[in-house]
Amino acid sequence: MAKTASKTIYVLNGPNLNLLGTREPETYGADTLADVETLCRKAASAYGLEAECRQSNREGELIDFIHEAGANNAAGIVINGGGYSHTSIALHDALKAVNLPSVEVHVSNVYAREHFRHHSFISKATFASLTGFGIEGYRLAIAGLAAKIGAKAKA
């Protein structure tokens, strides 16, 4: 018998996102990672879901989080791979392996930045990508993921 999907969305943040609010505020804004996590928990709750928020500066740990989401039959994944988005085939492969609906998020508009940021391995393993909305992109990603899995906003 197949496991029923949980009500948990994994929100995964990669390298340097722990420095939100202080790192290049002209690019990333003044909001902190704690602000992102609060926003995600509220956004998920609006759909009867829970957000499990994780951050790591280590690629292997992010892969472990993805595997955990798969093992727990999570409802989906929202991922900001940071710089690993542009370099990590391993994150791509992990997302493909767990086969959960996933959305890629970037706080800044990566296409208006350095050329090397214009390619994402992660985006090829997700059903959608959001860039340039600041931390509001996380709320949009959760709304899109909720729609994809058929979760309705609570009245």
Percentage with pLDDT > 70 across the chain: 92
CA 151 – CA 27 distance, rounded (Å): 33
Residue 98 predicted with pLDDT over 60? yes
Q: CB–CB of 6/75 below 8 Å?
A: yes
Closest residue by Cα to residue 103 from 72, 71, 81, 70 = 81
Q: What does 108-126 look like in DSSP terms, one character per residue?
A: S-GGGS-GGGG--TGGGGS
In the residue annotation, 28 being an active-site residue is answered as: yes
Work out the average pLDDT over 123-149.
96
**Which residues lie across from 100 on neighbouring strands?**
none
Q: Where are the alpha helices (DSSP H) in the chain?
A: 25-28, 33-45, 59-71, 89-98, 136-149
Q: CB–CB of 48/154 below 8 Å?
A: yes
Q: Taking the CA atoms of the chain, what radius of gyration do you get in angstroms? A: 14
Which tokens hold the place of 29?
Answer: 């804004």
CA 120 – CA 129 distance, rounded (Å): 10
**Per-residue model confidence (pLDDT) at position 1:** 37
In the residue annotation, 118 being an active-site residue is answered as: no
CA 42 – CA 5 distance, rounded (Å): 20
The single residue of 28, 47, 84, 138 carrying the catalytic annotation is: 28
Q: pLDDT tens digits for 10-56?
A: 999 999 999 999 987 887 778 999 999 999 999 999 999 999 999 99
The single residue of 47, 92, 106, 138 carrying the catalytic annotation is: 106
29 versus 60: the higher-pLDDT residue is 60
Domains annotated for the chain, with CATH where assigned, are 8-149 (3.40.50.9100)
